[in-house]
Amino acid sequence: MFENMDMLWAGISIVISIIAFGIAFYFYKWILKQPTANEKLKSVGQLIRENSFKFLKKEYSILATFVIIVSIIIILVFPTPLWSESASFANNFVMAIAYIFGSFFSALAGWIGISVATIANVKTATLAKKDIKDSFVCGFRGGAVMGMAVVGTSLLGAALLYIITGNPDTVLAFSFGASSLALFAKAGGGIFTKTADIAADLTGKVELGIPEDDPRNPAVIADNVGDNVGDVAGMGADLFDSNIAAIAATIVIAIPLGQVAILFAFASLGLLASIIGVLCSRIGKNGTPSKALNNGTYLTCSLFAIFTFIATYLCNFEMRIWGASIIGMIVGVIIGITSDFFTGDNKKPVKKVAESCQKGPAFTVLSGFAYGLLSALPALLGIGIAALASYKLCEPLNLIYNTTGYELLGISMSAIGMLSIVGMIVSNDAYGPIVDNARGLAEMGDLGEDVIKVADELDAAGNTTKAITKGFAIAAAGLTVISLLAAFMQVVESKTGVQTGFDIMNPTVFFGALVGVAIPAVFSALLIFGVNKNSQILVEEIHNQFKKDPGIKEGTSSPDYGRCIVLATRGAMRELLPASLVAIFSTLAVGFVGGVEAIGGYLTGNILSGLLLAMLMSNAGGLWDNAKKYIEAGNFGGKGSEAHKAAVIGDTIGDPFKDTAGPSINTQITVVSLVSSLSAELFLLHSIF
C-alpha cells in the first residue's frame, strides 16, 4: 500500500506544481496587460531589463562551464567511483543527468523571476499613479511568479526524479545541482548588487547630496539591475535551494521507513496553501501593504495546518509526524518575528542604534554589531527546540514499527513544515525589489511626488517583510542542514552497514568541527573583500566620469550607465568563484584527510558558525539600514545631520553583511552538506585516516 501511496502523492505533487506554473503564467499575462505611464519610463525600464538579462547571461555562461566540469566529475566518481568494484556507469550517468537537471531548474527559476520582475516594476510604478491597491497587487503578483516558479520547479523536479528513478542519490544530485547554482547566483548577484549600491550611495548621496535613484548618478541603473539580480534571482535561489535540500534529505531518510508519501503529501499541500494565500493577498478596506503581506502569510500557515491534518487523517499518516511539521512551521514564524524585533523600524533596537548615531559612527557600528550578536540567540534556540521537539515527538514511532529512523524523519519533516509556506515567503520577498525598483522608476520616469510617495509606502512594507523572510530563510536552512546531517549519517550507514555516530570526544570529529567553524567565516570574508574591491573600482569610474564631463553633475549630459554595469558585472564574475570553491574544496580536503568522522564534525561546526554569522550579519545589516531610515524620517536631526552621516556609514557596512555574505551563508552550508552526502562513499574508500 505504501508504494502506491508514494506514487499517488508524487503524482499529486506534479499536478499541483503544474497548477502553480499555471497561476504564474496567469499573473504574468495579467501584468503584461497593465499600462505603462510614458515613454521615458518605458525606456528606463527597458534599460534595467536588458542589463539584468545581460548580467544573467554572463553569469550563466560561466556557470555552464562549471556545470559541465562537475558533470564529468560526477560521471567519473559519484555515487561510486568508476574504478571501484561495485561501480556502475549507468548509475553515475543518471546522477550527472539529475545534477544537470537541478542546475537547469534553478537557473530557470531565476530567469523566470527576472523576466517578470523587470516588467512588473514598470507596471507597478505606473499603477501607483492610480491607486495603491492595484499597484500593490501588481508588485505582489510580480513576486508571486517567482514564488510559484521556485516551489513549482523544486517539487516537480523531485517528484519526477523519485517516480522515474526511485533512488535517493539522484534526488541528492538534483539538489546539489540546484544548490551549487544557487550558491553562485547568490554570491555573484550579491556582490553585483552591493557593489552598485555602495558606489551609488557614496558618490551620489554622500558626496553630491543628490537623492537616491537620481538619474545624474552613473551607477543608478546598475543599482536597480542589482535589486533584480541580487534580490529577486539571488534570494529566490536561496529558498529554492533550502526547499529542494529539505526534500532531498527527507527522501533519503524516508525511503528506508517507507514514508515517502507523507513527504510529498505535505510538500504539495504546502504549495497548494501558498497558491491560495497568494491569490488572496490584496489590500482590504482600511488595509496597508504590510497587513496584506502578513495576512497572506498567516492564511497560508493556517491552510497548511488544516490541509495536512485532513490528509493525515484520511491517509492514515502518523499524527506525530504531522505534529513535527507543525512545530517546524510555528518555530519558523516565531523566528521571523524575532528577526523583525531586531530590525523593525518601530522597535527598540533600531531606535537605540539611531540614537547612538548622534555620538558618531563608531557607536553606530558597535551598538548595531552588539544587537546583531544578541539576535542569534532566539534563532538558535528556536532551531534547537524545533529539532529536539520533533525528534522526541517522532521517536516513539520507532517502537511501534520496530525500527530506527523515525526520530530523524521527525527533524526533516519539521524542516518540510517550516518550508511549507516557502511559496508565500518567496512571493513576499521578491515583492521587495520590485517595488524598490518601481520607486526608482517613478523618480527616473518623472512620475511626480505623489507616485513616489505611494511607491515609498509599498517599499517600506517590503523592507519589514524582508527582515522576517531573512530570519525565516536562515532558520529553514538551519533545520534543513540538520536533516542533511542526518541524511549524511544515513548514507554512511547504508554504505557501510554499520550504525555510526559522531562523538565530539573523538578527536577526528572535533578536528573537523574546528575547521568547519572557520569555513563560513572565510567564505564571508572573501565575499566582503569582493564587494569592497569592486565598489572601490566603481567609485573610481564614477569619479572619472564626473571629471571628464562636468555636465553629468548638472544633469545636462547623460552619464555612461553601461560602463558601470560592465565593471560591476566583471567584478562579480571574478569574485564569485573563489569563495564558493573554497567551501567546496575544504569539504573535500577534510573528507579525504579525516574521513566521514571528520566530515561529521566539519558539518556540525559549519552549521553552528554558519547560523551564528548569518544571523549576526543579516540582522546587524537590516538594523543599520532601518536606523538610517529612522533618522531620515526626521528623528535625531534628520537628513544631513551628523547622526545621519554616521547612520549612512553603518548602512554601508551593513550592505554586504545583509545582502551578500549573510544570506549566502545559508546556501554555503547547504552546498557543503550535499557535497558531503554525495562524497560519503568516496571518503569511506579513500581517506587518509
> Binding string, 64-93, against a second copy, x = CB under 8 A?
------------------------------
Based on the shown chain and the rule CB under 8 A, indicate whether residue 633 belongs to the binding site for a second copy. Answer: no
Considering the complex, state which of residue 132 and residue 202 has its C-beta at the smaller distance from a second copy: 202
Contact call for residue 683 and a second copy (CB under 8 A): no
Instruction: Report the amino acid identity of residue 372.
Output: G
- Within 8 A by CB and 6+ apart from 43, the residues are none
**With contact defined as beta carbons under 8 Å apart, do 472 and 425 qualify?**
yes
CA distance 45 to 32: 13
* Least Å from the CB of residue 435 to a second copy: 26
Nearer to a second copy, 199 or 278 (CB): 199
Q: Is residue 264 part of the contact set for a second copy (CB under 8 A)?
A: no
Distance, in Å, from the CA atom of 594 to the CA atom of 397, rounded to the nearest integer, reads: 34
> Under rule CB under 8 A, which residues in 330-359 are in contact with a second copy?
356, 359
Residues 6 or more apart in contact with residue 540 via CB below 8 angstroms = none
Give, as ranges, the residues between 463 and 522 that touch a second copy (CB under 8 A): 482, 485-486, 489, 501-515, 517-518, 521-522
CB of 119 to a second copy, least distance (A): 34
The CA-based angle 152-154-158, given to 5 degrees, is: 115
Residue 347 CB, nearest distance to a second copy (Å)? 16
Indicate the residue among 486 and 672 with the shorter CB distance to a second copy.
486
The minimum distance between CB 321 and a second copy, in angstroms, equals 16
CB of 59 to a second copy, least distance (A): 23
**The three cell numbers locating residue 199:** 558606489
329 binds a second copy (CB under 8 A): no
The residues, ordered by sequence, that sit 6+ positions from 664 with a Cβ below 8 Å of its Cβ are 183, 186, 187, 190, 238, 523, 524, 527, 579
Q: Which of residues 392-411 bind a second copy (CB under 8 A)?
A: 392, 407-408, 411
Pick from 7, 8, 87, 374: which binds a second copy (CB under 8 A)?
A: 374
| Least CB distance to a second copy at residue 337 (A) | 18
Nearest Cα residue to 137 out of 467, 445, 446, 434: 434
In the chain, the amino acid numbered 111 is W
Q: Could you tell me how many residues of this chain bind a second copy (CB under 8 A)?
A: 76
Q: How far apart are CA 609 and CA 665, in angstroms?
A: 10
For residues 144, 150, 154, 159, the Cα torsion angle rounded to the nearest 10 degrees is 20
| CA–CA separation, 79 and 93 (whole Å) | 10
Question: At its nearest, how many Å lie between a second copy and the CB of residue 129?
Answer: 36
Nearer of residues 146 and 202 to a second copy, judged by Cβ:
202
Q: Does 412 bind a second copy (CB under 8 A)?
A: no
The nearest distance, CB 528 to a second copy, in angstroms, is 4
3-state secondary structure labels for all residues of 7-53: HHHHHHHHHHHHHHHHHHHHHHHHHHHCCCCCHHHHHHHHHHHHHHH
**Residue 44 or 408: which CB sits closer to a second copy?**
408
- CA-nearest of 496, 488, 467, 668 to 585 is 668
With respect to a second copy, which residue has the nearer C-beta, 359 or 574? 359
Site residues (CB under 8 A) for a second copy, limited to 184-213 = 198, 202, 206
- Least spacing, CB of residue 647 vs a second copy, in Å: 11
Which one of 330, 608, 684, 685 is in contact with a second copy (CB under 8 A)?
608
The reply to whether 589 sits near a second copy by the rule CB under 8 A is: no
The set of residues, in sequence order, having a beta carbon less than 8 Å from that of 519 and lying 6+ positions away, is 582, 583, 586, 602, 605, 606, 609, 610, 668, 672
